[in-house]
Amino acid sequence: METSLRVFSKDEALTDLSVECLFPARFYWIRERFSIDPNVFPIPSCPKFEEFHNQMKAHSLSVVFAAFHPEHPASLFGHTMFKFNSSTKEVEELEDVVVTYAAIIPRIIDPFSYVFNGLSGNFPGSFEIQKYKYKIYEYNEYENRSLWEYKLNIDEKGIERIIRHLWEMQKNHFDYYFFDENCSFRILTLLDVGDPELRLSDRKKFLVQPADTIKLMAARKNLFLEVKFRPSIVERYRQKYGFLTESERELLRKVIKDDEDVSQQLSENRRAILYDAAIDYLLIKKSMEKGTLDEKDKERYYRYNSLRGDMGNLLKLNDYYYPPTASNPLLGHDPSQITVSAGNSSNGAFGEFTFRPVLRDFTDSYPGYSPYNQLFFLNTNIRVYENMKSPKLQEIHFIQMTSLHPIGQFLNKASWRFDVGVKSLLTEKVFKEDPGILFGFSSFGFGVASEPFYYFSRYSLIFYSFLDVRGDISDSFRRGYRLGSIATIGMLCRITERFSFHLIGDYRSYSFGDKQYFPEFSVQGNYLLTERIALEFQYRKNYFTSLEETKFGAKLYF
């Protein structure tokens, strides 16, 4: 403090490299905190900072939450950023400035390195400033992520403090950790600068998940003033597709597949709906191809836009622009779980303890998350059998990701999944005594998914099938390894948002190393009792080894 006062008191000509210009947040804080005479600490003239200040100047602030990315289950954590609201009209809002804190990640990186470096802080993190229109394109269209905007109750003085703080921090880099020191933690620290009485960053848990920080802000009385929802382009397209009749859907197919002009076959209102959907499909197709519109596509875009006609006809339709808001982060359960279960198996009665640091499986309540994605890290399962003396490690899933892409509406994309971990032989065979044998496993595969009742009961029934490559290693295997495949069919049924069950049929066959096969059936159910407590049941049977088990448990979200 004494050093800062001494430096700021120096009678020197001010430049952009002067301490007052490099550290304006510190300068103004000392000036206000100690009520220093303006003649002693005159307001400096700093052209570069003033240029930055004018760029960021706003009448209000919003925190923006980018929901899950269907292509990357790791994005189930979401992402948060600050929006500086300088415009008063919605059409001008695209020019507003957005500040985001993100990890600097190589363009090409494998999933394992992505997760490892993110957990260990090996990615540098930095603040980035962009126009909001570029973030809308990146998240809403290119990555197919919905955006939630929460206008904040931060006064003008608080906004000024945040702008000065950003000026000091924008050139710094920090180690980026997925679990805690991430985008959301930095947003909390910025909010604390704007209003020191909030002290939001002091309330962070072991896991700082973006959705949880939104809940933390919402818990502060009157901090949120308004909420705005921007659905992803695929959500918008599917919503519009649902307004088409069967004959109109066939006409849409002719438009998007054959570029046929069907405008004369439709009334003005119906033509507007069809070509509005065609425009979205054209943009989705390009985002899937990771490309931009070429000259031919641009010509089609402008032609479809012309044929669509008056947008006012679409605004008259109820719910046309408002697809379901399942991605609202305020609706999601807490990210970590502990489950205590009891059951009986061919290896004896048992008690079980499961710890999942993050995040969820398909039977967990889906509001606030993606209904089509499953992700968990370090899911650890320990059992105590009645006829065995000590607790036994049943399995650990170091990382498990599944991404379902239901086909339909002319959107046909492969589903995929990935699983790496360690299991006990007790998970697949019957033993009188604990063999004390663990084996490592990994699998990766592609599949297809279908949601037949999407427009009648969204997310309620999903069928899927997968074909994976599977490899296991253990000293207990005769050849030390086994390599083969897994064929899977499954059905995910959500009776309500609180109650769901999952049926799975697996045929695991090893053709190399230890040649074995394991046909298995399982069913798992989950019922959410309260916001933080759920009941769970599971039954599974291996038809080759005759291993059979049933268990019931209680789950705590925290």
Residue 51 resides in a domain? no
Contact assessment for residue 363 and residue 400, using Cβ atoms and an 8 Å cutoff = no
504-512 contacts, C-beta under 8 A, 24 or more apart = 508/470, 508/484, 509/484, 509/485, 510/470, 510/472, 510/482, 510/483, 510/484, 511/483, 511/484, 511/485, 512/481, 512/482, 512/483, 512/484
CA 35 and chain centroid, separation: 46
Residue 182 resides in a domain? yes
Residue 236 resides in a domain? no
Residue 455 resides in a domain? yes
Q: What is the pLDDT of residues 403-413, one digit of tens each?
A: 999 999 999 99
Q: What is the pLDDT of residues 130-157, one digit of tens each?
A: 999 999 999 998 888 999 999 999 999 9
Nearest alpha-carbon partner for 41 in 57, 54, 24: 24
Are residues 263 and 226 part of one domain? Answer: no
Whole-angstrom Cα distance, residue 398 to residue 392? 17
Are residues 89 and 191 part of one domain? Answer: yes
**What's residue 363's pLDDT?**
98
Backbone angles phi, psi at 175, to 5 degrees: -70, 130
Are residues 289 and 374 part of one domain? Answer: no
**What's residue 551's pLDDT?**
98
**What's residue 71's pLDDT?**
67
Are residues 204 and 144 part of one domain? Answer: yes
Whole-angstrom Cα distance, residue 544 to residue 508? 11
Residue 325 resides in a domain? no
Cα distances (angstroms) measured from residue 292 to each of 135, 281, 283, 295: 16, 13, 8, 10
Give the whole-number percent of the chain exceeding pLDDT 70: 94
Q: How confident is the model at residue 4 (pLDDT cuts 50, 70, 90)?
A: low
DSSP 333: P
More confident residue, 173 or 354: 354
Beta bridge partners of 125: 103, 174
Q: What is the pLDDT of residues 197-226, one digit of tens each?
A: 999 988 767 678 889 899 999 999 999 999
CA 260 and chain centroid, separation: 37
Q: What is the pLDDT of residues 502-538, one digit of tens each?
A: 999 999 999 999 999 999 999 999 999 999 999 999 9
**What's residue 519's pLDDT?**
98
Are residues 550 and 433 part of one domain? Answer: yes
Domains of the chain: total = 4
Residue 115 resides in a domain? yes
Q: What is the pTM of this model?
A: 0.87
Does 479 score more than 90 pLDDT? yes
**What's residue 9's pLDDT?**
53
Give the relative orientation of helices 47-56 and 156-169 as an angle to the nearest 10 degrees: 130
Mean per-residue pLDDT of the chain: 90
Are residues 338 and 474 part of one domain? Answer: yes
**What's residue 179's pLDDT?**
75
More confident residue, 11 or 318: 318
Domain end point (choices 230, 265, 297): 230
Q: Kindly tell me the sign of the dihedral angle through the C-alpha atoms of 202, 207, 212, 214.
A: positive
Are residues 380 and 516 part of one domain? Answer: yes
Are residues 223 and 290 part of one domain? Answer: no
Residue 239 resides in a domain? no
Domain containing 404 — which CATH number?
2.40.160.40
Does 2 score more than 80 pLDDT? no
Q: What is the pLDDT of residues 48-87, one digit of tens each?
A: 999 999 999 999 999 999 998 766 655 668 899 999 999 8
Q: How confident is the model at residue 111 (pLDDT cuts 50, 70, 90)?
A: low
Are residues 455 and 337 part of one domain? Answer: yes
Q: How confident is the model at residue 431 (pLDDT cuts 50, 70, 90)?
A: confident
Are residues 391 and 489 part of one domain? Answer: yes
Q: Residue 120: give the domain boundaries.
A: 56-230
Are residues 409 and 502 part of one domain? Answer: yes
Contact assessment for residue 429 and residue 409, using Cβ atoms and an 8 Å cutoff = no
Q: Read off the tokens for 322.
A: 């408002």
Residue 106 resides in a domain? yes
Domain end point (choices 262, 286, 315): 315
Does 34 score more than 80 pLDDT? no
Does 28 score more than 90 pLDDT? no
Whole-angstrom Cα distance, residue 210 to residue 101? 12
Are residues 337 and 268 part of one domain? Answer: no
**What's residue 36's pLDDT?**
73
